[in-house]
Chain A
Amino acid sequence: MKDNPLESQTSYQKYVDEKTPNSPILKNCFNAFLVGGLICAIGQIIFEFCKTKGIDEANCYTIVSISLIFASSFLTALNCFNKIGKFAGAGSFVPITGFANSIVSPAIEYKSEGYIMGVGSKMFTVARSSACISEFHQVL
């Protein structure tokens, strides 16, 4: 060892960073690309389908969102979404599916504290900040 890592907090942090294994970023990115692309492709298919039914474009996008939110909620309720998430990382998290998952998962988790104080108040533990902050930005 060249210098003493215990000398200061910064040197220890540097030492720890060297010692800590990194996430397999290439593999993760590949999986994220694959799954993320697939989710968007499914969305596009739903979109095209709605369009053939003569629904106007803005509503088609809403239908796509709601269908994907439903699928994601359904998989979360079946305790499957976390397995997909582990594989895909941002691939399932960045699309709207991740937003639904971040609302549905605390809803299930805090069921034991009741439907009002548990589910009702904890539902947005993960997602609420995003809603609030983006709201704030727009008002600006």
Chain B
Amino acid sequence: MKKVGKQSYIVENPVAIVNTATIVGPKEKEGPLNKYFDKCIEDEFWGEKTWEKAESKFVKETSNLVITKSGISANQIDFCFAGDLINQCISSSFGLRDLSIPFFGVFGACSTFVESNILASISIDGDFAENVLCCSSSHFCSAEKQFRFPLELGNQRPPSSQWTVTGAGATILSKNGNGPFITTLTPGKIVDMGIKDANNMGAAMATAALDTLVMHFNDTGRTPNYYDAIFTGDLGYVGKDILNELAKSKGFNIASNYNDCGVLIFDKDKQDTHSGGSGCGCCASVFAGYIYQKLLDKEYKKILLIATGALTNSLTTQQGESIPGIAHAISIEV
């Protein structure tokens, strides 16, 4: 691993994304990306009694699926990095408790997916591990229950609000494999521009995404057209618009090849999801389903994936605190 610039790292030994898996819920199935997901579940409870159990089942089944798909058996996997949004990351720990793989619980809000992959890449490049499993998940119902209001409450959602994705995505990274490869890492700093509106996460996270994006380009000396595509995690329509404009004002015109996973996963007009998707499962399922397939098809050869997270909880919002954002970036090349 070689550090370049202020906070970016070039991976020296190849870290291959051997395989990915993703399982999503019914609303995601109705979305435009449904053919890229491995499995779509019709019932949000997935036969379980509580939302929390259902979310752990998403984690468990997705992890098992990626293990089966990759052909690497569970006892060959050295570490597992996983996280979700529910208090103390219980969806991940409950979902993975039967797997018997050394486990690190990761919390980076919706940036968890890329954060896990960065940590996994570091451990593989540093020779601490050969195969690592990364997984992250979110569930609309458990997230609403914890962060907002009961599902049956008859309230209206403002246009800037986002829809938490029900689903989980997992990757297996390995020392050996034919790629696609993780080549550069840019872990992000916490950025807080004082946004307090929990219904406008996109705006709160956009500045963090901007910071990481600018850092990445400055550190590596690359320009936006180095990449075939640049994706952010879950800024939604509002955040995407802001990032586009702010990046341009910083001298990086990303408009032509930039998109956002939260924008891609739902059809805004048909599904009434307002500003788009969000949650750990958003970036995870769009990457593990859609983007990974495009990489395998060589449609994209070089991509930059920036997952964004709002580091908040329901108490801090009520206490009137602002919402700090974070964004982690990895570049993946075939």
A81 x B152 contact (CB < 8 A): yes
Range, interface on chain A: 35 or more
When distances are taken between beta carbons in the complex, the residues of chain B under 8 Å from A88 are 154
Asked if A43 CB lies within 8 Å of chain B CBs, one says no
Residues from chain B with a CB closer than 8 A to the CB of A4 are 249
Given the contacts A6-B193, A93-B155, A112-B49, A1 and B150 also touching, CB distance less than 8 Å: no
Name the residue on B nearest A13 (C-beta).
B194
Residues on the A chain within 8 Å of B242, using CB: 15-16, 19
- Whose C-beta in chain A lies nearest to the C-beta of B322? A9
Residues of B within 8 A of A57 (CB): none
Query: A96 in the interface, Cβ–Cβ < 8 Å?
Result: no
B246 near A5 with CB under 8 A, answer yes
A15→B210 CA distance, assembly (Å): 15
> Beyond A9-B193, A109-B151: 7 further Cβ-contacts under 8 Å?
A13-B193, A16-B200, A21-B160, A79-B152, A86-B157, A101-B153, A101-B154
Q: Which of B151, B159, B193 contacts A22 (CB 8 A)?
A: B159
Most buried by A among B150, B154, B157, B195: B154
B221 proximal to A (CB < 8 A) = no
Residues in A whose Cβ lies below 8 Å from that of B85:
none
Please, could you name 15 A-B residue pairs with CB atoms under 8 Å apart, sorted by A? Answer: A6-B207, A12-B195, A15-B242, A16-B200, A19-B241, A19-B242, A20-B200, A20-B203, A84-B154, A85-B156, A88-B154, A105-B150, A112-B49, A112-B52, A126-B153
- Per CB-CB distance, the 5 closest pairs between chain A and chain B, nearest first, are A85-B154, A9-B194, A105-B152, A109-B150, A105-B150
Q: Produce 1/0 per residue, A1-31, CB < 8 A to B.
A: 1001110011011011001111100001000
Question: Once the chains are docked, how many angstroms separate the CA of A9 from the CA of B49?
Answer: 44
Decide yes or no whether B42 CB sits under 8 A from chain A: no
Q: Are A98 and B152 in contact (CB under 8 A)?
A: no
In contact, A105 and B203 (Cβ under 8 angstroms): no
Contact A106 B150 (CB under 8 A): yes
Contact yes or no, B156 A28, CB < 8 A: yes
Interface residues of A (CB under 8 A from B): 1, 4-6, 9-10, 12-13, 15-16, 19-23, 28, 76, 79, 81-86, 88-89, 92-93, 98, 101-102, 104-106, 108-110, 112, 125-126
**B159:A23 contact, CB within 8 angstroms:** yes
Q: Which residues of A contact B241 (CB under 8 A)?
A: 19
Residues of B within 8 A of A21 (CB): 159-160, 238
Chain B positions within 8 Å of A79 at CB level: 152
- The 8 Å CB contact of B151, one of A84, A105, A125, is A105
Q: How far is the CA of A139 from the CA of B263 in the complex (A)?
A: 51
Task: Report the separation of the CA atoms of residues A28 and B242 in the bound assembly, to the nearest whole angstrom.
Answer: 27
B200 proximity list for chain A (CB < 8 A):
16, 20
The answer to whether the Cβ of B299 comes within 8 Å of any Cβ in the partner chain is: no
Alpha-carbon distance between A135 and B157 when the two chains are bound, in angstroms? 30
Which chain B residue lies CB-closest to A1? B249
Chain B nearest CB from A88 CB (Å) reads: 8
Interface centre among A1, A6, A23, A98 (most CB of B within 10 A): A6
In contact, B152 and A104 (Cβ under 8 angstroms): yes
CB distance from A114 to the nearest CB of B (A): 11
Question: Which B residues touch A102, using CB under 8 A?
Answer: 153
Query: Cβ of B100: which chain A residues have Cβ within 8 Å of it?
Result: none
Q: B97 on the interface (CB 8 Å rule)?
A: no
In the complex, the answer to whether B153 meets A19 with C-beta atoms within 8 Å is no
Given contacts A12-B195, A28-B156, A92-B154, contact A109 B207 (CB under 8 A): no
Interface residue? B43 (CB, 8 A):
no
How distant is the Cα of A81 from the Cα of B152 in the complex, in angstroms? 7
